[in-house]
Structures are given as C-alpha cells and as structure tokens.
Amino acid sequence: MVTGCPRADLDEVGALTAFGVATVHEAIGRSGYLGPLIRPVYLGSRIGGTAVTVICWPGDNLMIHAAVEQCGPGDIMVVTTTSPSADGAFGELLATALQRRGVRGLVTTGGVRDVAELHAMGFPVFSAAVSAQGTVKATAGAVNVPVSIGGQPVCPGDAIIADDDGVVVVQRTGVAAALAAAKARADREDVSRAAFRRGELGLDRYGLRSVLSEQGVEYLDYESYLGKGGQT
Amino acid sequence: MVTGCPRADLDEVGALTAFGVATVHEAIGRSGYLGPLIRPVYLGSRIGGTAVTVICWPGDNLMIHAAVEQCGPGDIMVVTTTSPSADGAFGELLATALQRRGVRGLVTTGGVRDVAELHAMGFPVFSAAVSAQGTVKATAGAVNVPVSIGGQPVCPGDAIIADDDGVVVVQRTGVAAALAAAKARADREDVSRAAFRRGELGLDRYGLRSVLSEQGVEYLDYESYLGKGGQT
Amino acid sequence: MVTGCPRADLDEVGALTAFGVATVHEAIGRSGYLGPLIRPVYLGSRIGGTAVTVICWPGDNLMIHAAVEQCGPGDIMVVTTTSPSADGAFGELLATALQRRGVRGLVTTGGVRDVAELHAMGFPVFSAAVSAQGTVKATAGAVNVPVSIGGQPVCPGDAIIADDDGVVVVQRTGVAAALAAAKARADREDVSRAAFRRGELGLDRYGLRSVLSEQGVEYLDYESYLGKGGQT
Amino acid sequence: MVTGCPRADLDEVGALTAFGVATVHEAIGRSGYLGPLIRPVYLGSRIGGTAVTVICWPGDNLMIHAAVEQCGPGDIMVVTTTSPSADGAFGELLATALQRRGVRGLVTTGGVRDVAELHAMGFPVFSAAVSAQGTVKATAGAVNVPVSIGGQPVCPGDAIIADDDGVVVVQRTGVAAALAAAKARADREDVSRAAFRRGELGLDRYGLRSVLSEQGVEYLDYESYLGKGGQT
Amino acid sequence: MVTGCPRADLDEVGALTAFGVATVHEAIGRSGYLGPLIRPVYLGSRIGGTAVTVICWPGDNLMIHAAVEQCGPGDIMVVTTTSPSADGAFGELLATALQRRGVRGLVTTGGVRDVAELHAMGFPVFSAAVSAQGTVKATAGAVNVPVSIGGQPVCPGDAIIADDDGVVVVQRTGVAAALAAAKARADREDVSRAAFRRGELGLDRYGLRSVLSEQGVEYLDYESYLGKGGQT
Amino acid sequence: MVTGCPRADLDEVGALTAFGVATVHEAIGRSGYLGPLIRPVYLGSRIGGTAVTVICWPGDNLMIHAAVEQCGPGDIMVVTTTSPSADGAFGELLATALQRRGVRGLVTTGGVRDVAELHAMGFPVFSAAVSAQGTVKATAGAVNVPVSIGGQPVCPGDAIIADDDGVVVVQRTGVAAALAAAKARADREDVSRAAFRRGELGLDRYGLRSVLSEQGVEYLDYESYLGKGGQT
C-alpha cells in the first residue's frame, strides 16, 4: 500500500483526453493499449485521469475498499486480480464513494455489477466482464504498485484515457510529449480526412502503390483472372 | 414433459424483482447467479417471473415449441441445450406466441435471433449468444425438469430475476425469505450509500482496517517505497 | 488483386435486405450465415450490398487501402486476415474514404476502432472485435478473391446483408431466387404470426405433436412425476 | 459440511468402470457427461469411484483440506468453485494425503499443479486447467452438497468414472441399472464391431438409408453434380 | 451426396506427406493450414491422403455414417458441422469401419471419443475437441461438397496432410507443384540447418540486417539504454 | 535492441530450477507465474535459465532472428507479440540456431511449429499455441526490453524456470533470496509429506479447524442434513 504517489498533470491529461484512445495510442508509438477485452459497460463516454492501481485476490474486493482512501479528484481507479476473475467486485456503492472523492471512472480486468445504476449515476466503467457474483473481503493485495494489463505496464499516477475504443495508458512523465504528438497526428488526420472527402485514395496519399509493387501484387481484370484458373 | 408444476407466488416474485439481480444474489447467500455469460440482448430491462425449464438438443428447438403450451402469465422460459450450442433457436415468432400467453421473457444458454424485432416488441431476452443460424425440430429433450446453468440448479416454478447484471434464480420455496433478506440488505445499503455520499470510507464502515492489519498490509509513503527498491 | 468483378443486382439486393438476415438465411436453405462472432459495433442498422473481399496479413491493413479503389456505390467491404487478428485495422478515416465512394458498410473478422465516430457518421460496421491497436502497411494479401468466414464462402460480387442478428451472404447468381424464397417465407411467417397472436400453438400449426410422440416424449403431471422419483 | 453420506456400491462401480466413459454415458441415456473442458492432466488412466463433493471460493482451497477428512477408500474428490478459477488449488501434497486414505483420483473444474509429480505417483487428475498459481485458505465453501459441472448434477456418493474421454457421473441409486445397460450396449457394440470388420456399413446395420431418403438426401455422381452447377 | 469424385494421386500425396505440414504449408505459398484449433488427439503420427468431406448437423452424425460408403483406400475423412459442436460424433466403431476400407485417419472441427481405443488401434484423429457426448442420427447434411475449415476451402479429393503441427490441405490439381516446391524448400532448409549448426546467423543468411536498419532498429548497449531512461 | 544485459547467476538459477515451478512461485510470495495459457508443447522437461526478451509484430518473426545474436549459453528466449498471435513464428531451424549457442529453451505467448522435430532434438518449448502458420520478416519490434506475460513483468536477465506446470519468472536480483526461500519451503513440504503419509490431516497440521469455525462452517451428519431440507 503506497501513499502519496505523484500524478500526471491533470490539465495536460484533460487536453490529451480530447484526442481519444486510438489517436493517443498511435501518438505514443502504437503502445499503451490495454487490449480489446476491456470494454465500456455502456457506450458513449470518454474519460481521462490519473491511475490509482489496485491488485485484488480473485473473488475478493478488500483492496478496492482500501484503495478508495488513496483516491482524489481526477483519479481513475485501475483494478487487476492475481488470477483471472470475472466476479462483480465493484458496484454502485463503491462508485458512490469514488464519485464523492472526484474519481472519474473505473478500469478493471475483472467484473462489475449494478450496470443500470452506474449508467444512471454517470460513472463510466471499463471492464472485462459484467457479473452480479459477489466477493469477500478476506485476502490482501496491493495498492499503488505497478500492474500490467494486456501486456502494458500501468504505474500509479500514469494518465489513463478511456472511450468506446477501450483504454490506453500514457506514462506519467510522457504526457506532455504525448500531447504534442497527438496534436500533430490529429492535424495530419484532418488534412487526410479532407482529402478522402474529395476522393483522394490512401494508396496515393500514403505512397502505398510502390509497397504493393515491391510485394509483388499484380492487378488482374476479372476475365484474365478466370482465364488463369482463378476460383470464384 | 412435466405438467402442472407449482410456481412461486407471483406477488412475492414481483416484490423481489424490484431489488434487482445483484441484491437478490447477495440476499440469498451469494448464490443463484447464472453467471456472466448470460447477457441481455438489449440493455435496460428488468423482469421477474417463474421458470418453465426446457432442455433442447443442439441445433434443435422442438422442445421450445413443446414448452410454449406449458407457459402461462408470469412465467419466464429458461432454455438449455444438452451440449453447448449458439444457434438461434428462438426468435420473434416464438416471442409472439409467448407474449400472447403472458410470458415475461426468455433466459437461454443458447442463441436467439430477430434481436431488433424482440426489442421493438418489448420482449426481454437474456442469452449467451445472438445468432441467425436456424434450427430443426427433430430430436426430443425435456420440459419442466431441473436444469443447471452456470453451476446453479433451476427447477420449474423457481423465481427468475433478470436485469442488466444478468440472471439470478431463487428456489420456489425460498422467495419469501429472499424478499425479507433483500429488503434488509437494501435498507443497509441505503444507509451505507448516504454515508459514502458524506465521505465515510468502507474501510471504516465495514471495519476493514483490522483485516488489512491482520493480513500484514503495510502503508509506505512513495519516498519510502522507492527507498526500499519499489518498482515504478 | 482482381478488378472489374461482376456484382449482384443492387435493386434485387435492396429488396432482399428488407427481409433481414434471419429470414434470408432460412430462405436460402439455412446457409450463408457468417456466424455469431461477427457483431454490429452499434445496434440498430440494417444494410445490404455487394461484396468487395479483402485478405490482410495480421496486424496489417495495406490491402484495405488497396481495396478502397475497387469499391463503388452499393458495395460492402468484407475483410478477413490470414490468421486471427483483433487489431483495429479499420477506423474513421477509411470509413470516410469508403463513404465518399458510396460504400454501405464494413464486415470484418478482425477489429475496428473509432467506434464513436463511426456511429456518428452513420457507417455501419460488423466485426469480431473493437480494438484501438494500430496496424502497419507492410505485407501483401489479396483483393476480390474468394474468402471464407464462419465456414461460409464469400465471393466478390456476392450479396451481403447485415443487421443486429449478424451477417449473411447470398451467392451473386442466387439473389433472385433468394428474393422469391424470402418473400414466400415472410408471407408464411405473417400468417403464423397472426395465428400465434390468436393463441394457436406451434405444436399444432407445425404438426409437432406427432414428432414428440414418435420421439417417445411422455407427458406426466407433476404428482405422477414425483411419484416416479422425479427430481425437483 | 455434510458427513456420513451413503456411497454407491464400490463393486458395482468397479464393474461399471471397465466399460469406459463413453459407453456408460450412452448406457444411462446420453447423460451425465461433465463436458469436454474437464481433461486428464496426463493420458492413459481409467478410474471409477464414489464422489466426495467440494465447493471452493475462487483462489482458495480451504474446503479441499476440509474435505480430505471426509474421504475414504474408493472415493474420488470432485471440486468446483463458486465462480470460474483456474488456480492450482490442488497438488502433490494433497494427493499424498488422499492417496493415503485410499482415494482414487480428483476431478476439478479448477486447476492443479505438480503435474509431473502427480504422474509419477500415479494419482489420476481430471481438470479444466493446469496452473502453478497458489491459493489461500481463508473463505468457506461446502463439502458433500450437490454440485453441478457441465450442466450435470453431481451428488455425494454418486459414481464417477473418468478416462481419456473425460468424466461421467452416474446417480448413486442408478449404478446397478447403468451396469446392466452398459453390458447390453457393449455386447451390441461387439457384434457391430465384428460386422464393421467384415465390411458391413452402418447405413445398413442401423437402417439409416431410409432416414437419408426421408430427409431428402439425393445421390449425384460427380459429373451430374458438376452439370447442376455444383461447386468444386 | 456426391459420388465418384476424382482424387489426388496417392503416390504424389505420399511423397508430399513426408515433408510434413509446416513445410507443405510454406511450399504452397503459406496457405492451406486449417488452423491451430485442430489438434491430434494423441501425438506422434503423420498421415497423408485424399479428402472425403462431410457436413453434419450439430449433435448428429448421420452423415458420417453415410460418408463411410464413399471412402476407399488412401482417403482421409474431413468432417465439419453447420454450427460449432464439440460432441463426440466419431469413435472407435466408426474408426473400425473406416480402417477396414483403407481410410488413413479423420480430421474434424467437432469432437471425438474413445481416445484410448483410437490410439490402441492406430487410427490417427485430428479434432477440435475430445468429448464423450453422444449424437443422434436424425438430420441431413452433405457428403463430398466443398467445406471450409479455418478459412481454408477443402474440396473432395484434395490432398490432406496431418501431423503434430496440425493439418494442411493441398488442392487436388496442385499436388505435383506442391511436391516440387516442398522438395526445393526442404533442400534449402537442409543448407540453412547446416549453416545454423556451424553458428551462422539468420540475420546474415537471410539478409535481415538491412531490414532492421530500414525499420529504424537501433542497437544500444545496456549502459546507454539505462542512460536514456530505459526501463528495467 | 539492447545488448550486453546483465544476467542472473547461472549456478543459482540451476539450483533454483531443481525446486520446480510451483515451489519457486510460492517461495517468491506467490508471484511470477506466467499463467495457465503457456503450456509445454511436450510433457516431461524442466529447464531454467536467463531471459532474453523479444517483442514481435503479429505474424512476423523478424525480431526472433535479430534476438538469436543476443543469446548465449544458459539463456532462455522469451517471446511476446504486440497483439495476440498464434502463428508459428518459431520452429526447428531457429531451435537449431539457438541450441548451437547454448540456449536452453523457448517461452512464447505465440505459436510454434515442427513439434515432432523439437521433441526429437530435445529443445523444450513452452507456448500458448502450436500452429504451422508461417510468418513474415517485415516489421520491427524490440529485443531485451521489459515485457509482460500473464500480468507478470519479465526483464532481460531474469531467471526463467519452466516445467509441466508452466513458467515462472524470478527477478534477476532476487534469485539468491528465492533459492533460500525455496529450500526452506521444500524442507517444510518434506515434513508435511511425511506427516500426510502417516495419515495426519492438513486441517490439523495447518490449524485450519479454527478457520472453518470462524467462517461459520457447521458439520451436519447426512440424516440431520436431510432433516433440515438439504438437497440430494
């Protein structure tokens, strides 16, 4: 149980959040994505904040209760378990306690319950499962030590961004650089979007015709393809 | 094919339904939850009723047709297969027949189809899959015998409660006790919710500081943690 | 890379689309369904069009870019990978390029990202995963050759119908016959629906009582069942 | 924790075991099979005995320790968890304790470890996972109450048969009938086997040609098939 | 049910088999592999032969019985189901019938049983599951029409090669070319193997240093890496 | 690509290896286990060595080739991919190159091929999949940077122990302490094993009767259980 961890700057995190998960993931070198198994329990939210990390024993939410005390405004709680567990270790009462402290949402490799209530109270949750199965409060874990989700390390104080595409983590000390890179990427995407709306092709815009050619891709019209024994 | 099974009292089931799946599951001793694989095909409904159970052969919905006749007002049809099958054994036509008889919804370990139509007609379905794959009507199974879903036995006439958190079963003879326990739990949760809104911690409210202490959990401030070689 | 593939007639495809995935699947002899793993990334759309097929290397969307040029009004892009890959090979920029060309949607065994943006721009996507994980543009695949999804072959120019029940493919040369069969089936279903609303049973309507009897299904009232040692 | 449960007769169980899992499953009406997820940790054993059932909390093997005391000669321990858990709740030390008491093996929906040692000591284990992940001894469950695995109820004292095909359960009071049915089936299979060795076809032996005909199956030689537009 | 399908030349298939699944897959352009879900039920065999294809309804092996009659020396039966099914549709009796006819093995996307007996009688089986669950013989499918497994089409008469790495299919008309390509590849591998045994690196042998360089890969010694803030 | 990483002491690693994966995992505080998805491709080996870590793009083994050069005697190569990929990125030729350099085995979250050949040459492999699917050599990754498998960080030079129970990682700087703790634990287990062989119970040996009592576990004989309405 580690207390007083430094956090990423919330203003920078907020600015980064606006770019969304996919753009941020690209901006930091195609890294930090927590994987497709972590999904929003309801669609339509986008949040950003600083990580308070929690490791629980399967079927046990003792450490989530312990971690509430370490949470403050702008935080996002990030929960893992020592082995896979879909149990509903988090629900509306814990969300009430976190919301009171200014926490912006929850990310968990486990399960949550009270989905309708969480939606109604506007507390975004990104989880690997929804489950009503209850948990005990018997076995210790850890709070605010590094965890790993989807092969990506998440450290206390790192920036967490989550939306309908999932969740991305940005190292605490890398938020400013990520912000600059995301802005640059978004600007480039604006130009590409306009070009695509005019009918330009990615093949031309990104110089991919030469890649196809180097890879030996040949163009055959349908009749030639059939003539060469092509399957239909 | 068993007929004339006794049912749980529908008034009591209705009162129990209002507490939702998670609270009922806790109230009956953290049991009866059919597991996280059974999900609503659309979010936002909460139903309660009495079980009519059906066992089908995979890829075959003969017994669902046979079971319709056994269903009456307040029932919820509960379908399993003798081995896992995601096929769309249930759709809008069967829902029409059930709705005509006053049936409140469907729970199935298999698949369903006509999702848009089911949503439009307001017939809640909780299933392990959505699949358009059609089924035959060739092989026998059983109706109104005990089945097991997610490790939980479901008997004909048992109370079934389903919402966005999934599905819970309460034994037919245990509904009154479940109702009393759910009410008591909800009252306690009301008090806890108010406390959490005031900023009280679960650590204090539930007496968990001593558990942490017995488990050997130590508090380290961030500098001390680093000093002891803690990873960041 | 095959160009100039013939397409199914778009008027016929449009008429077929109105019947929905489940009815079309039944109408063509319970075939063509791409399986329950391909799901809409947001509920509530129904599209039909003609297939442009794409095979990508895992983690690589080079061939999607190459395929854009082969797409025209009424097409639906159908993407597979040479081995399973959930990476987000498709997003809002590619959707912009496709929408500009009159493409009606995307079907993929892989992943997509920018879910919120895709929803906002009204570009329906049916995929096996949502993932923000980015891809490279380095390795060749194929465009407009036959692919296979869920055990069903999909050829360029085939009709693709997709809705909340998933995706079905109809062979290019079979659309007219499918249309006639779907219409006939829908008419029969209209009659059945009316009958079910009046309270008629599928057991009687489909002549299933004799099937139950041949299968040896016996009816026992609850008391007799208990008397024979039935479990409760 | 229920003590003194009656057991199936061990002589009858032993005789039944000789027929193997698949034959016993068929003999009792294609039921009792615990499903394909429960696999032997090493191939080549076949055991039969009487069930001592255990329900554990995930990540916790307290109740396995408690159950050892309830086990005697001819028993097979059958373990489930209240929610899915692959943790290695059982290993060589527990196997040593069970072997000392005459227990014949373990069946578990969870995980086991010390695979090499279990093999060396000749203690057969059938599990859903192998995992070295350790467990705690903190939370209560139950011993010798009915459990459910793969949709099949398993009660204390029931007969358990396990081999390379998995595990089947036979109700305690049904072992004698199962034995007679298994013997009859094995005799029929001996005759069929001899017939198949002579070149007879199942189509003829089981009268399936008429089934094919009723189902509308047509025989087409390859040339006719191609002539009708058959795909190749 | 198509009869009299042409087969690939068994001598050529036999010669191709000797190269093993991985080499053949590479030799035909990294295609034809049926995927990692199809595994040998026991390790240590390598077979090659010509495909007799079967499509079964889930939970039903009627068409396997029908297909036996179409099998002859050198064939390998290839079974799929119209939707996923792990049931044990194939066992020792069917293997006896096939072995009598000179069939060399079975490949199935479904399940098999009698694993110990299949091993003892030397009949190799490659399947997605082992399951004792029995099947009925009630619903039609097809024999000797094209099927698709793991995204790869398998046609009657195609060459099938299977070993501990899984299963690969080679088009009937492509076996001779595959044989030449496999031989050439194996020769190249012999030279590479000898080089690797001498200590040569793939980096040099395959000219990969320039690829690394083009991709921007930099070499840093450990101290420099730490100096640049590298994580450890 | 980081070169010249320090390694754990090979003598200490060798001594630690003898205790096996499960004991080492317990000895370091129930941590370091890479999870039940990483399995030996053939049973019966136990290896220990120092990690050379590799991150590959899915479907691409360029970085494995690059990493060979960084491997030396006593190393174990540890491979992950940036997103899940079962492709056969490693086979007998790479194993030949590694074996020549004194490498003791491979651990990978991806797939391997040439299983029979790997077994024959005695090169142990622990992987999440077996797949013949080939890979390209086109996209960069990293060598000898920290990776994460099953939620556990693996750094270059860490000790890796692998046997039939899976794989455990021990931090490079923690091997000596792990060795002492493993020895102590093994000694305790020797005493427990002897006690269990004499018939002592874990309930008594580990003082668990009081835990059961605190948890409210009651003992009921079977008749009393039935009298209280217990299910059978």
Question: What is the per-residue pLDDT for B232?
Answer: 66
Start-to-end CA distance of chain B, whole Å, equals 62
| Other chains touching C, judged by 3 or more CB pairs under 8 Å | A, B, E, F
C-alpha closest to that of E116 among E189, E34, E41: E41
C-alpha closest to that of D99 among D127, D120, D80, D85: D120
pLDDT digits (tens, 9 = 90+) for A134-168: 999 999 999 999 999 999 999 999 999 999 999 99
| Residues linked to residue F160 through DSSP beta bridges, in sequence order | F49, F169
Rounded to whole angstroms, what are the CA distances from B135 to B110, C209, D55, D174, E162?
A: 11, 17, 36, 33, 33
**Chain F interface mutation, best of A78, A148, A214, A215, highest count of F Cβ atoms under 10 Å:** A148
pLDDT at F232 over 70: no
Say if CB E126 and CB E108 are below 8 A apart.
yes
Sole residue written with tokens 């005909």: D213
Beta carbons of D148 and B146 less than 8 Å apart: no
Phi, psi of D136 (to 5 degrees): -100, 180
Q: Is E210 on the interface with F (CB under 8 A)?
A: no
Beta carbons of C30 and E82 less than 8 Å apart: yes
| Residues linked to residue A169 through DSSP beta bridges, in sequence order | A160
Helix segments in chain B, DSSP class H: 10-17, 20-27, 62-68, 92-100, 115-121, 175-198, 202-205, 208-214, 222-227
Nearest CA in chain B to E232: B231
> In chain E, where are the structural domains located?
10-184, 201-232
Rounded to whole angstroms, what are the CA distances from C95 to A190, A211, B187, C54?
A: 14, 22, 51, 15
C-alpha closest to that of B225 among A156, A8, F28, E226: A156
User: What ipTM does the predicted assembly reach?
Assistant: 0.95
Phi, psi of D162 (to 5 degrees): -140, 135
| Other chains touching F, judged by 3 or more CB pairs under 8 Å | A, C, D, E
Beta carbons of D220 and E134 less than 8 Å apart: no
pLDDT digits (tens, 9 = 90+) for B97-116: 999 999 999 999 999 999 99
Average pLDDT of the residues in F144-153:
96
Q: Which residues of D touch B153 (CB under 8 A)?
A: 146, 148, 153
Question: What is the per-residue pLDDT for F228?
Answer: 86
Say if CB C170 and CB C32 are below 8 A apart.
yes
- Cβ neighbour number for residue C210 with a 10 Å cutoff: 9
Q: Is E148 on the interface with C (CB under 8 A)?
A: yes
A-B contacts (CB, under 8 Å): 122
Average pLDDT of the residues in D146-171:
97
Q: Is E153 on the interface with C (CB under 8 A)?
A: yes
DSSP summary character for residue F36: T
What distance in Å separates the CA atoms of residue B75 and residue A110, rounded to the nearest whole number? 33
Neighbouring residues of F69: CB distance < 8 A, sequence distance ≥ 6 = E201, E203
A16: distance to nearest CA of chain B, Å? Answer: 22
Instruction: Kindly list the averaged pLDDT for each block of 10 residues, start to end, along chain E of length 232.
Output: 96 98 97 98 97 98 98 98 97 98 98 98 98 97 97 97 98 98 98 97 96 95 89 69
Sole residue written with tokens 């009687």: C204
**Chain F interface mutation, best of D133, D154, D172, highest count of F Cβ atoms under 10 Å:** D133
Among partner residues E57, E86, E131, which is closest to B59 by beta-carbon distance?
E57
Give the number of residues written for chain A: 232
pLDDT at A232 over 70: no
Among partner residues E82, E133, E138, which is closest to B83 by beta-carbon distance?
E133
C-alpha closest to that of E180 among E10, E8, E22, E12: E12
Rounded to 10 degrees, the C-alpha dihedral F193/F195/F198/F204 comes to -120
Question: How much helix, strand and coil, in percent to the nearest 5, is found in chain D?
Answer: 35, 25, 40
Q: Is F152 on the interface with A (CB under 8 A)?
A: yes
> Residues E60, E62, E63, E64: is their CA dihedral positive or negative?
positive
Average pLDDT of the residues in D80-88:
97
Question: What is the per-residue pLDDT for D124?
Answer: 98
Sole residue written with tokens 């029969």: C188
pLDDT at F108 over 80: yes
**pTM greater than the 0.90 cutoff:** yes
Q: Is B102 on the interface with D (CB under 8 A)?
A: no
pLDDT-derived band at D232 (thresholds 50, 70, 90) equals low
- SS3 call for B191: helix
Q: Is D151 on the interface with E (CB under 8 A)?
A: no
Rounded to whole angstroms, what are the CA distances from E151 to C131, E36, E145, E172, F204?
A: 22, 12, 16, 18, 57
What distance in Å separates the CA atoms of residue D27 and residue D30, rounded to the nearest whole number? 7
Rounded to 10 degrees, the C-alpha dihedral F223/F225/F230/F231 comes to -60
What distance in Å separates the CA atoms of residue A126 and residue A108, rounded to the nearest whole number? 6
Q: Is C207 on the interface with B (CB under 8 A)?
A: no
pLDDT-derived band at B207 (thresholds 50, 70, 90) equals very high
pLDDT digits (tens, 9 = 90+) for B24-61: 999 999 999 999 999 999 999 999 999 999 999 999 99
Q: Is D230 on the interface with A (CB under 8 A)?
A: no
A125-130 and A142-143: which strand pairing? unpaired
**Chain F interface mutation, best of E38, E149, E165, E206, highest count of F Cβ atoms under 10 Å:** E165
pLDDT-derived band at B230 (thresholds 50, 70, 90) equals confident
Amino acid present at E83: S
Average pLDDT of the residues in D203-232:
92
E38: distance to nearest CA of chain B, Å? Answer: 18
Q: Is E131 on the interface with D (CB under 8 A)?
A: yes
A228: distance to nearest CA of chain D, Å? Answer: 16
Helix segments in F101-221, DSSP class H: 115-121, 175-198, 202-205, 209-214
Structure token pair of residue E29: 């352009």
Beta carbons of B153 and D147 less than 8 Å apart: no
At residue E178's C-alpha, the angle toward residues E123 and E174, to 5°, is 90
pLDDT at B229 over 90: no
What distance in Å separates the CA atoms of residue A58 and residue D81, rounded to the nearest whole number? 11
Q: Is F57 on the interface with C (CB under 8 A)?
A: yes
pLDDT-derived band at A231 (thresholds 50, 70, 90) equals confident
What CATH number belongs to C10-184?
Answer: 3.50.30.40
Q: Is B232 on the interface with E (CB under 8 A)?
A: no
Q: Is C83 on the interface with F (CB under 8 A)?
A: yes
> Residues E8, E10, E12, E17: is their CA dihedral positive or negative?
positive
Beta carbons of F22 and D137 less than 8 Å apart: no
Say if CB A59 and CB A85 are below 8 A apart.
yes
Say if CB E186 and CB E199 are below 8 A apart.
no
Q: Is E86 on the interface with B (CB under 8 A)?
A: yes
Beta carbons of E193 and F96 less than 8 Å apart: yes
Amino acid present at E219: Y
Q: How far is CA A122 from the centre of its chain?
A: 18
Q: Is A140 on the interface with B (CB under 8 A)?
A: yes
B75-81 and B105-112: which strand pairing? parallel
Instruction: Kindly list the averaged pLDDT for each block of 10 residues, start to end, along chain C of length 232.
Output: 96 98 97 98 97 98 98 98 97 98 98 98 98 97 97 97 98 98 98 97 96 95 89 69
Q: Is E27 on the interface with F (CB under 8 A)?
A: no
Q: Is B150 left (phi over 0), alpha (psi -120 to 50) or beta?
A: left
Beta carbons of C131 and F58 less than 8 Å apart: no
Q: Which residues of B touch C198 (CB under 8 A)?
A: 100
Amino acid present at C21: V
Question: What is the per-residue pLDDT for C99?
Answer: 98
pLDDT digits (tens, 9 = 90+) for A186-216: 999 999 999 999 999 999 999 999 999 999 9
Q: What does pLDDT average to over chain A?
A: 97
Neighbouring residues of E24: CB distance < 8 A, sequence distance ≥ 6 = E16, E32, E161, E168, E170, E178, E182
C-alpha closest to that of A177 among A34, A30, A18, A24: A24
Average pLDDT of the residues in F205-218:
96
Q: Which residues of C touch F86 (CB under 8 A)?
A: 83-84
What distance in Å separates the CA atoms of residue A6 and residue A70, rounded to the nearest whole number? 12
Phi, psi of D89 (to 5 degrees): -75, -5
Structure token pair of residue A221: 């019209």
| Residues linked to residue A89 through DSSP beta bridges, in sequence order | none
At residue C46's C-alpha, the angle toward residues C43 and C48, to 5°, is 145
Sole residue written with tokens 């049915």: D181
Give the number of residues written for chain F: 232
Beta carbons of E44 and F129 less than 8 Å apart: no
C-alpha closest to that of F130 among E43, D63, B163, C47: E43
- SS3 call for A117: helix
Helix segments in chain A, DSSP class H: 10-17, 20-27, 62-68, 92-100, 115-121, 175-198, 202-205, 208-214, 222-227
- SS3 call for B230: coil
